[in-house]
Amino acid sequence: MASYNTKLSTRSVGRDWDWNVRRAQAGTSWRKPETTRTAFERKKICPPHLTSIPPVQSNYPMMAPAAQSASAPAKGKFDVQSLFAADKAARDESALGLSAFVKANGVEALGQIGFPDAALKALGNKKNAAAREGAAAAISTLIEDGAMQFLEPYLINGSQEGLLAALLAGVADKEKPVAEACESALKSTVQNMNPWGTQVILPLITDRVEKSGKWQEKKMGFSLISTLTTAAPTQMALATPILVPVLANGVHDTKDKVAKAATKALDKVCKLCENPDIIRFIPELKKALINPVEEVPNAVKALGATTFVAEVTAPTISLLAPLLVRGLDERQTAIKRKVSLIADNMSKLVDSEYTVRPFLPQLLPRLIKVQDTIGDPEARAVAGRAIATLRRIGKVPADSDGTDLPPLRVAEGPALASELAGFIKKLGGPEVDPAHSGIAQAGVYAAAICNAHIYDQKTWEAALPTQAKLSVGDYDVLPAVRELLQKKADEESTDDIKFDDEEEGEDLCNIEQFNLAYGAKILLHHASMRLKRGHRYGLLGRNGSGKSTLMNAIVNNQVEGFPDPSVVRTWYVAHDIDGSEETISIIDWVKADPRLAAVATVEEMSKTLESVGFDEKRQTETIGSLSGGWKMKLALARAIIFKADILLLDEPTNHLDVVNITWLVDYLTSLTQCTSIMVSHDSDFLNRTITDTLHLNNFKLKRYPGNLEKFVEHVPEARSYFQLDVAEDYQFKLPNPPLLDGVKTKEKSLLKMKDVSFQYPGSKVQQLYNINLQVSLSSRVAVLGPNGSGKSTLVKLLTGETEPNLGGTVWKHPNLVIGYVAQHAFHHIDHHLDKTPLEYMLWRYQTGEDLEELSKASRVLTDEEKKKMAEGAVVVKEGVKRTIDELVARKKLKQSYEYEVSFKGLSSAENMWISRDELISRGFEKKVLELDTREAQRLGLMRPLVRREIEKHFEDFGLESEFVTHNSMRGLSGGQKVKVVLGAATWRRPHIICLDEPTNYLDRESLAALTAALKNFEGGVLVITHNKEFSEGVCSEVWAMSNGYLVASGHNWVEGQGSGARIDKKDGDEEEIEYDALGNPIVKAKKAKKLSAAELRKKKKERMARRKRGEEVFTDEDEF
């Protein structure tokens, strides 16, 4: 059982509630509440349980056992009938006497003298208007004279035949004084009662406004609802799910006065919704409630672009649910899609199943129908996500549509009264009968609070003691109330495990509650975060869950409640160094940071750089000359110089080799005064480094002590952080490459490098020496080596990003297509971050070929090449000089190709065909390569560049169509951006895929899926990685790089076709799947295959044998 501090602590399910609640002093009446809610009330409204307290069976069940109670009999006598006298003055005087009598004798006095029954009888006396008026006036006098708490057990009980029901019926009395007296009594009641009585009387009020045949009673019911929104705003907010439908119907009442009262009440109930995300749309929502046919589409369009960030409480969902229900019944697909999206986004911010449960029977079946019947696949997917979210929040089984859920547990007043009486006796108080009026009414209010799922100490201490003390006299009931609160909170508590070390160590940060969003996506909602000095936290979560965004928000001081940077210094180690700074020397780049200049001298900076491997010579080199691993070390060196209190590391092992990872582990574990938060998909690194795990899941941030192994003990499903197991429902699929001319086996080389040497311009060291290698469709190559050994340079030469400048040749098959993802994967999309992935693909492949190819060194003409082309462009034909303009076509010529060339100033009729070798000798090699690329794309059966095809392609990499079509790439996580880059690189169905550090940014599930996809890929694979598990899972061949030299092992390099199995062509009759305009596959009847001559002869023999046996045979059955 959790500890409980009766003075300071508050306890609630899932969070601490700390709002300002009205508090009644023991022994005094409830005063008229303030007309405005406090800041805390506005901020925190607990999700309600909308099942009201069951109405009692008798009119006054608490009166029956009064004689058995421990209270003393009333002193003196009181003539109840004097309250109903004909003389008004006498009635008024008698009512004041009743008030004094009750205050002197206690709550049971009213029952002992028979006032409740007498008042009820008088209100029903159709022949005596004075009696009816006197009964109502007596109730008003008791309330206004401060005796409300004595009257509540008999008035606030929800009975359909009790005093409150009689007063409601009385407002329709033909005698105006009677009607006015009943109206006054009702208003006094709702203004002065315990606000938690709202949950008790609202079912009665809503039942009367819906079923009563008297317009005065309906009007009064709506007026009481309006009054209650001011008198008990918190409680009314919890009841909005049952109020909004009633009010929406009331505004259409045929009686104008009733409709106006309903409209006024609806306005006030709508104001209870203080969600900042939709508050500006409340006018549109009200219009949609009143006039759904015309206004629902407009309201849906207005809400469609809304970003939900604030918690969605009962008032919010009560206003939205009717709109969503109506929207899902609309005929337009666009409206249904937007409604599904709103439902999904809204549901993610609902904290409790109790809030969403009342709406599931209406929403879930309609969403399921949309998913099953709508034609647009993307809209179906949106509806599917909304269904999944509602099922998760509402805890709905997969086989249920939300209409057959078992009822939620409801707290009962008598049971809670009995428990409270037990705690009073246990703590040394008097023995009290649970049926005694005061303690029984306290049980009713306790049940109302429990059914609202509020476990806040201030709320309980304000609501219960006033009634409970009526049964125990001067005894202090607060300890018993606290014990009851603790018991109920423990019974329903959904709090996660509390660990013993929560209070150990120095707090650097302790945020009880904060939210985080990026664009239209909610990342954290009502999350808490507590960081201890010297701890090392691993921040874990799926790609897109918000890990990097959270770290950016911390360093930019955007997390509410996080200590100011002047108090707690934070430093963020980013993924990569800005490409625009690559010409700056290392030491100058470090010195240029004002934050570092403020805490360290140049000498200290230089000394720190030297300690991590940057000697004086290397410090003067440019950043651009560094490999990815050395760039990451430089970023870490800056963090060391800053001496931060909190160090934020986002994928710190990216590009680091094994030696440098070990150095990083040793450095981080040596920090005793610095706290680290690190995001990494390297499970071994985290297991060796972290002391705690911060798990980002379901919009919450939960801490678990220990490393990854300890974390998995608490969260078994997180075992994927250790294992590369492919999930059945999460797999990548790479497009199979088309066939290549002249390539009959997978062993035939498609890409060769012979005696290649290379050195970057301006670099003092040569990067590559005499490299020889080849790549085929069967290649599975891991390029391994320490940081700076030349791995990335080697791959850049292979893919044409750079060209050999110290000798050697790089040859590739003319039709070869290479899919390349660079070491800094994001450089592919850095200039397109404001585009969606769909828009990026439409831009990149707008001409049919990859526009990125145009920027490669193998495609850009140098001045020397332009000069050679100009000299070789002159062709003499029949004594006439012609100048080559463009290469326009290509055709096969023996073992090579010849190209159709056009000439400047001449028509296409004068075009000539020139062989490949001759064009290359004339300096047109890059023009030849350009045409080869276009032809390779054409031969690869150019894919239709349309939305459906692009969305399907990205879905094969685990990127949902919602992100592809509707989210800019700037808002995507690192892992999602890698998926975009992978999808873009493989769009042309490449024969060879080259991936430089592909494991960076990918979570374990995605990495496992990528590993399996590369294994099953029909083409060749080259990967540069420091991840041993990944390389061993994919590759059988190793190219070990060391100081610019290559040592290859495990390869099967052959000359010619080799001895491998031949590549079989696809069946010529195999048809490609066709789709309709909405993206649904068109199911076609299979074509009958015509039999060959041999098969026909066999069929004939079988037919003759069957005929010989006397079977019936038809000759036309042999045709197919």
Buried b (16+ CB within 10 A) or exposed e, 354-385: bbbbbbbeebbebbbebbeebebbbbbbbbbb
What's the pLDDT score for residue 68?
32
Q: What are the DSSP calls for 648-705, one per residue?
A: EEESTTTT--HHHHHHHHHHHHT-SS-EEEEE-S-HHHHHHH-SEEEEEETTEEEEEE
- Could you tell me if 851 and 949 lie in one domain? yes
422: domain range?
411-492
- Axis crossing angle, helix 314-328 with helix 333-347, rounded to the nearest 10: 160
Report percent pLDDT > 90 for the chain.
Answer: 10
What's the pLDDT score for residue 949?
87
Number of domains in the chain: 6
Domain boundary residue among 1004, 1027, 1049? 1049
- Decide if 214 is inside a domain: no
Indicate whether 188 pLDDT > 50: yes
CB 954 within 8 A of CB 905: no
- Decide if 64 is inside a domain: no
Indicate whether 224 pLDDT > 90: yes
- Give the tokens for residue 378: 């993307």
| Average pLDDT estimate for 1055-1069 | 59
Q: Which of 231-235, 545-549, 560-564 has the lowest mean pLDDT?
A: 545-549
- Could you tell me if 1026 and 1091 lie in one domain? no
- Could you tell me if 887 and 897 lie in one domain? yes
CA 343 remoteness from chain centre: 13
- Give the tokens for residue 643: 């001496």
**Running DSSP on this structure, what letter comes out for residue 313?**
-
- Decide if 154 is inside a domain: yes
The CATH number of whichever domain residue 447 belongs to comes to 1.20.1390
What's the pLDDT score for residue 420?
92
Phi-psi region of 748 (alpha: psi -120 to 50; beta: other; left: phi over 0): beta
Indicate whether 46 pLDDT > 50: no
- Decide if 524 is inside a domain: no
- Could you tell me if 949 and 920 lie in one domain? no
Domain boundary residue among 939, 957, 987? 939
CB 306 within 8 A of CB 343: no
- Could you tell me if 872 and 1015 lie in one domain? no
Q: 521-532 and 507-518: which strand pairing? A: antiparallel
Q: Which of 131-135, 224-228, 885-889, 1108-1112 has the lowest mean pLDDT?
A: 1108-1112
Confidence tier at 17 by pLDDT (50, 70, 90): very low
- Could you tell me if 1016 and 917 lie in one domain? no
Q: Of all residues in the chain, what percent are helix, strand and coil, respectively (each to 5)?
A: 50, 15, 40
CB 251 within 8 A of CB 219: no
- Decide if 177 is inside a domain: yes
Confidence tier at 1075 by pLDDT (50, 70, 90): low
**Running DSSP on this structure, what letter comes out for residue 251?**
T
What's the pLDDT score for residue 296?
85
Tokens 């050395």 -> residue: 630
* Mean pLDDT of the residues in the chain: 79
What's the pLDDT score for residue 582?
65
Buried b (16+ CB within 10 A) or exposed e, 38-76: eeebeebbbbbbbbbbebbeebbbbbebbeebebeebee
- Could you tell me if 119 and 183 lie in one domain? yes
What's the pLDDT score for residue 21?
32
* Cα–Cα distance for residue pair 821/826, rounded to 1 Å: 9
Confidence tier at 811 by pLDDT (50, 70, 90): confident
- Give the tokens for residue 157: 């009980």
| Average pLDDT estimate for 924-933 | 79
What's the pLDDT score for residue 48?
36
What's the pLDDT score for residue 628?
66
Q: Which of 68-72, 74-78, 884-888 has the lowest mean pLDDT?
A: 68-72
Q: Name 74's Cβ contacts closer than 8 Å, sequence gap at least 6.
A: 101, 105, 106, 108, 109, 112, 113
Report percent pLDDT > 70 for the chain.
Answer: 84
Burial of 171 (C-beta count, 10 Å sphere; 0-12/13-18/19+) = buried
- Give the tokens for residue 1098: 């066999």
Report pLDDT digits (tens) over 532-551: 888 999 988 876 677 878 88
- Could you tell me if 607 and 589 lie in one domain? yes
Confidence tier at 898 by pLDDT (50, 70, 90): confident
| Average pLDDT estimate for 885-911 | 83
- Decide if 699 is inside a domain: no
Confidence tier at 1087 by pLDDT (50, 70, 90): low
Domain boundary residue among 466, 492, 518? 492
- Could you tell me if 851 and 990 lie in one domain? yes
Confidence tier at 1069 by pLDDT (50, 70, 90): very low
- Could you tell me if 77 and 189 lie in one domain? yes
- Could you tell me if 792 and 929 lie in one domain? no
Indicate whether 30 pLDDT > 60: no
3-state secondary structure of 1067: coil
- Could you tell me if 834 and 946 lie in one domain? yes
CB 47 within 8 A of CB 314: yes
Confidence tier at 574 by pLDDT (50, 70, 90): low
- Decide if 807 is inside a domain: yes
- Decide if 123 is inside a domain: yes
The CATH number of whichever domain residue 885 belongs to comes to 2.40.50.990
Least Cα distance to 562 among 596, 524, 588 occurs for 524
Q: Name 546's Cβ contacts closer than 8 Å, sequence gap at least 6.
A: 516, 518, 521, 523, 524, 696, 973
What's the pLDDT score for residue 220?
94
Report pLDDT digits (tens) over 579-592: 556 678 888 888 88
What's the pLDDT score for residue 205?
92
The CATH number of whichever domain residue 1039 belongs to comes to 3.40.50.300
